[in-house]
Structure 1
Amino acid sequence: MTEFVMVAGAWLGAWAWDEVVPELRAAGHGAHALTLSGLAEKRDAPAGQRTHVQDIVDEVVRRDLRDVVLVGHSYAGIPVGQAAERIGDRLARVVFVDSNVPADGESFASAWWQGPGVLEPVIAANGGFWAPLPAADFAGQGLSDEQIARIVAGATPHPGAALTEPAVLTGSLGALPATYVKCLLDGPDPTDDVAKLLTGERWRLVELDTGHWPMFSRPRELAGILLAAAESAES
C-alpha cells in the first residue's frame, strides 16, 4: 500500500484535495492531505519555508509512513522537494504538480517568473503576506465558475517568509525518483530548471490538459496520474 502525502500550493490547505483523496483511498492506498503552517485552519501559526519543510517531514514521521509518495503542487514543490530528501528510505517517489522545484540557496521569490526582487515589495505592502488571487485571475485554467468560487472562498493569505527563505538541499534533486505533471493550460512547456531535471533517468514527464489547479478541475485524472506514479515506484 502506498501512502500519499499531498500538499497544495500558495493560499490553499488540505481541503484542496477533497476530491482526490477518495479516489486514492478507493484504490486501497493511504491518502493524507496536509495543511502547512500559516494557512487555512493553521493560519495563526507562524511559518516560513523551513517550517513548511518540517511540517511535511513531521507528518511522515508522526504517522510512521512507509512507501511514501510526496505530492507538491505549485509553491509546495519547494518544501516537498526538500522533505523528500530528508525522509530517506521512507520515500517511494515525488510528484510535482505544475510546481516550482527547490534549488539550493534559492527561494520561491528569487525564482519568480517576473524576476527576482519583484515579489518581495508585494508581500511587504500586504503586511508580510501574499494576498490570494481574485476570481478573474483563474480565467482560462479549465475551472468552472463554481470551482473558482470555491478556491477564492477558501484561500488564505500566504506567509511571506515561506516565499523568501532559501531552500536547502544536500544532494541532487535529479537523483530523486520523480514525476512532473505539466498542466498545459498554464503553459505548454516546463520551466528551464524542470526541463533540465527531466533529462535525467529518474524523472518522468506527464502532461495533463487542464490548468494550474487540477485537483479542482480534473481530480479524477490527477488521481489516476498519482496512482500510476505509485505503480512506477514499485517497478
Structure 2
Amino acid sequence: MSTLVLVHGFWHGSWCWSEVVPHVVAAGRPAVAVDMAGHGLSARRPRWFTEQPYDPEAVGTEVSPVADVSLDDAAESLTARLKRIGGGEPVTVVAHSAAGPVLTRIAQRTPELVAHAVYLTAYMPASDVPAVAYTQIPEAADSLVVPLLRGDPARIGALRLDFATGDPAYRRQVREAFYSDVDPALAEAAAGLLTPDSPVGIMLGTTTLTHDGWGSVRRTYIVCTRDLALLPDVQTRFIAEADAAFPDNPTSVVTLDASHSPFLSMPGELAGVLTALG
C-alpha cells in the first residue's frame, strides 16, 4: 500500500497527527505528517502576539507575516514533499480542513503523485470556486469559526485567531469550535499549540478541475458528523458537487461521529479508517 502523507488544516501543524501515526505504523502502513506552508516550522507570528502591553487594535490591523503565502506556494511546497516522500511513487494524501484546496491543486496538476486523495472534513471546492466561498453559503451559517476571527482578512492577509487575549470565554469558544469532543486537558494543550495567523491566500485561490486531472484521482471524503467548524451540510455539499461534475469517478464516503479534530478525539478509529484505504 502507498505511504500516507498527513496534512493538517489552518492554525495547526504536523503535531496534530502525533496520536494517529503510531496506530497507522503499528498496523504496517508507512505514514508521515508534514507542515503546510505558513504553518508549523514555517509559521510566522505577528508582532502583537508577543508584544506587551496587549494591543487589541493591532490584533485587527497588523498585516500578517504570512500574507504573501498563496495557494500556489502551498501546493508547490507540498508537491516537493510528496516527491521526496514517495521517491517517484504515488502516495495517499490525507488533507484536513483547509488543506483540502492544496490537495485539490496538486491532484489536478500532478495526478501521478496522488494514489488516493482523502479529504478529512476538508474543503473540497468545485472547479474555479475558491474555498472561501463556502464560508458564505447558507449551510455554513452556524459555523463556530467565523465569530472567532479578528481583523479584515483582505486587509491583514490572514485568517486570524487572537490567542493573546486573556478572555477565558474566547479560549472556550476556540476549544468548542475545534475540539468539542476532545478530552478538556488535551483540547487545552492543543489550543496552546495553534498559531494565530493562517494565510488567506490559500482559501482565495482557485483550481480548474478536469477529467484527466483531479477528476481521474481516486478520492474519499471522511465526513465528521459533529463538526462545529466545517459543518456536515457543507461537507456533503462538497461531495455532491464533485460527484455531479465527475460521475464516472464517484467519491467514496466514510462517516465518523466526531468533531472537527478526530485525530485527537478518536485517533485509533481514524487510523483504522486510514490504514484500510487502498
TM-score normalised over the length of structure 2:
0.73
State the Cα RMSD in Å.
2.7
Residue of structure 2 in register with 1:181 after alignment: 222
Gaps of 5+ in 1: 231-235
Query: C-alpha separation between the residues in 1 aligned to 2:137 and 2:112?
Result: 37
- Gap change, CA 1:123 and 1:20, over 3 Å in 2: same
Q: Is the 8 A contact 1:79 1:102 kept in 2?
A: no
The offset of 1:173, in angstroms, is 4.1
Residue of structure 1 in register with 2:239 after alignment: 194
Deviation string, structure 1 residues 93-152 (Cα, Å, up to 9, x no partner): 111001111333222222224579x98963146x32212374323327311212221221
Q: Is the 8 A contact 2:24 2:271 kept in 1?
A: yes
DSSP 3-state at the match of 2:72: helix
Q: Which runs of 4+ in 1 moved over 6 A?
A: 118-121
**1:167 corresponds to which of 189, 207, 210:** 207
Return the letter of the residue paired with 2:255.
Answer: E
Is structure 2 residue 83 aligned with structure 1 residue 61?
yes
Q: Comparing 20-29 with 5-14, which one deviates more in the overlay?
A: 20-29
Residue of structure 2 in register with 1:131 after alignment: 160
**2:152 corresponds to which of 103, 107, 122:** 122
The offset of 1:188, in angstroms, is 4.6
DSSP 3-state at the match of 2:226: helix
DSSP 3-state at the match of 2:152: helix
Q: Is the 8 A contact 2:10 2:99 kept in 1?
A: yes
Count of matched residue pairs: 228
Residue of structure 2 in register with 1:233 after alignment: none
Return the letter of the residue paired with 1:211.
Answer: S
Q: Is the 8 A contact 2:10 2:198 kept in 1?
A: yes
Query: C-alpha separation between the residues in 2 aligned to 1:29 and 1:110?
Result: 36
The offset of 1:204, in angstroms, is 0.8
Taking only the aligned residue pairs, the percentage that are identical comes to 27
Residue of structure 1 in register with 2:60 after alignment: none
The offset of 1:39, in angstroms, is 1.1
Residue of structure 1 in register with 2:58 after alignment: none
Query: C-alpha separation between the residues in 1 aligned to 2:152 and 2:239?
Result: 26
Gaps of 5+ in 2: 45-65, 141-145, 163-170
Return the letter of the residue paired with 1:224.
Answer: G
- Gap change, CA 1:120 and 1:166, over 3 Å in 2: farther
Q: 1:15-164 alignment to 2 at 5 Å?
A: 15-44=15-44, 46-63=68-85, 64=87, 66-113=89-136, 122-124=152-154, 127-132=156-161, 134-139=171-176, 141-156=180-195, 157-164=197-204
